[in-house]
Amino acid sequence: MYKIMNKNLFGTGQFYRKALTIAIPIMLQQLIQNMVSLIDNFMVSGLGDISMSGVNVAGQVLFIFMVYVNAICMTGGIFLTQFYGAKDKNGMKQAFFFKLAMGLAAAIPYFLVCVVFPRNVLSLMLIGNTQADLILDEAVSYIRIMFFIGIPMTISVCIASSLRDMGRVKAPLIVTVIATLTNTAFNWMLIYGHMGFPAMGVRGAACATVIARTLEFIIFIVIYAKEKPDFAISFGQKFKTDGAQFIKTLKKGGSILFCEMTWVLSETVTTAIYNGRGGADVVSGMASSFAIANLFFIAFGGIYSATGVIIGKTLGEGRLDKARDQKTWILSGSAIFGVFMMIFGFITTLLVPVVFGRLSANAIEICRNMVILMSLFMPVWVYINAQMAVARAGGDTAMGAYTDATITIFMMLPLVFSLGLLTSIGPVMMYMCVKLLDLVKVVVFHVWLKKERWLKNLTVSKAAI
């Protein structure tokens, strides 16, 4: 029998090995993706500040789209993981269907932004920028091609996330390696015109991404068809959607979606305000800093997935006391892990002149200062991600909707607008002032988690919780 009153602050070595077994492949997958993204940025940066800025302004649309799809997969994953722990295959199928149906629902607005109204939408990201028209020319040519990855990428993310919800992390890692190597190769050929291909500039970067994402989609479909994982569904007599379960998941998803979209829209607004602090050098400098920071942001996905799988499975098995202890062990471990990732972040500043040396001097300085600043925040951000993952593993989506979104809407956005309108400080200092509010989130989340609203087995009843 499991000992109910285990008050150790840290878990055993075996517990953390299990967590790392889940987290490391996911982090490696993201590291490979982000390394290739960094290489993409390196190749595009050779075209100059304006091309670099255009690609990254257009990339903000893809960023919003991906946050939506990932939020839907997080929601379905809450239930899929617990149904996996309860060995309920039909429940797993219902969770996967939810991911697929809600994910594909975004195809229409994605089409409108990428094909019908791209310049109108993207111009909102460059209000006040002194080189907005030139940047928009590059951004529109890029985003019209990126439209084609919408549906294939959504299906791939749904399958990959469902495999990870079951603790199967190797297959998504292998597929990512194949797709990212393909992306890199075609970037080299299409951006500058090697191996007999025409030099297409930013359009070449977009075409390379479409080719890689299409290959990724084909491989995941083959895995899905051949292996038929427990969540796999066949439409028709063998599968019937459970409307009550779909609505129950949607209610949980509404909170997560509200929280995530509030976050991504606030990030988009703040990015637009940063972009108005100068010309293409500011846009490219800020964008390149995030391209490097993504190398240590891999900690977030690893922490989130490992927490969701471990605690979600334990809750699905009905072992609530063990889940309570696991929460303490994960939060303590994440605090230590965040310090290591901060050090790693400082090391990545060495890449700035190597990768982005062809940008303007001001862009390089902004990039370096931003990377240093984001590294300093890593212990806080890793801990916040662990707190959020614990809450969502037990279906407590209200913590994000009521606290995270409230701080964002009523504190962060007024602050950034005030800084933008009333001061002349640069984008790096503005970013620091805004992110100091994350210290407030740590305290609020700590108090919320103590109420243990997350400590629930979601598989015991079909009634909405």
334-371 per-position pLDDT tens digit:
999 999 999 999 999 999 998 888 888 999 999 999 99
The Cα–Cα gap between 11 and 31 comes to 27
The model's pTM = 0.76
Note the pLDDT tens digit of each residue in 57-103.
888 888 889 889 988 998 898 889 888 888 899 999 999 999 999 99
- Is residue 44 in some structural domain? yes
Note the pLDDT tens digit of each residue in 271-309.
888 888 878 888 888 888 988 998 999 888 888 888 988
3-state secondary structure of 46: coil
- Is residue 455 in some structural domain? no
- Is residue 255 in some structural domain? yes
Q: What is the mean pLDDT of residues 255-284?
A: 84
What token pair was written down for 215? 């290959």
- What is the Cβ-side half-sphere exposure of residue 303, based on CA atoms within 13 angstroms? 29
Q: Say if residue 433's pLDDT is above 90.
A: yes
Provide φ and ψ at 239, rounded to 5°.
-140, 130
CB 326 within 8 A of CB 449: no
Q: Say if residue 201's pLDDT is above 60.
A: yes
Q: Say if residue 4's pLDDT is above 90.
A: no
**pLDDT for position 235:** 63
The Cα–Cα gap between 15 and 25 comes to 17
**Helical axes 320-348 vs 298-316, angle rounded to 10°:** 170
The Cα–Cα gap between 355 and 306 comes to 32
- Is residue 3 in some structural domain? no
Q: Is 461 left (phi over 0), alpha (psi -120 to 50) or beta?
A: beta
Provide φ and ψ at 177, rounded to 5°.
-60, -45
Q: Pick from 388, 367, 114: which is nearest to 263 by CA?
A: 388
CB 187 within 8 A of CB 172: no
Q: Say if residue 462's pLDDT is above 60.
A: no
Q: Taking all residues of the chain, what is their mean pLDDT, rounded to a whole number? A: 87
Q: Say if residue 1's pLDDT is above 60.
A: no
- Is residue 4 in some structural domain? no
Q: Say if residue 180's pLDDT is above 70.
A: yes
- Distances in whole angstroms, Cα of residue 129 to Cα of each of 416, 418, 441: 17, 18, 32
The Cα–Cα gap between 421 and 375 comes to 27
Please report where in the chains the tokens 């960023």 appear, as a residue.
63
- Distances in whole angstroms, Cα of residue 407 to Cα of each of 186, 411, 448: 42, 5, 14
**pLDDT for position 436:** 94
- Is residue 464 in some structural domain? no
Q: Pick from 274, 182, 170, 261: which is nearest to 223 by CA?
A: 170
Q: Pick from 109, 107, 106: which is nearest to 121 by CA?
A: 109
Q: Is 118 left (phi over 0), alpha (psi -120 to 50) or beta?
A: alpha
Q: At 202, which amino acid appears? A: V
Q: At 51, which amino acid appears? A: S
Lowest mean pLDDT among 1-5, 142-146, 213-217, 410-414: 1-5
Q: Pick from 73, 116, 145: which is nearest to 301 by CA?
A: 73
What token pair was written down for 35? 């390394």
- Is residue 437 in some structural domain? yes
The Cα–Cα gap between 72 and 216 comes to 20
Domain range enclosing 32: 13-450
The Cα–Cα gap between 301 and 463 comes to 30
**pLDDT for position 460:** 66
- Distances in whole angstroms, Cα of residue 423 to Cα of each of 145, 275, 285, 451: 38, 15, 20, 40
CA dihedral 9, 28, 252, 378 (to 10 degrees): 60
Q: What is the mean pLDDT of residues 34-39?
A: 75
CB 293 within 8 A of CB 371: yes
**pLDDT for position 5:** 40
Structural domain total, the chain: 1
The Cα–Cα gap between 211 and 254 comes to 33
Q: Say if residue 330's pLDDT is above 90.
A: yes
- Is residue 213 in some structural domain? yes
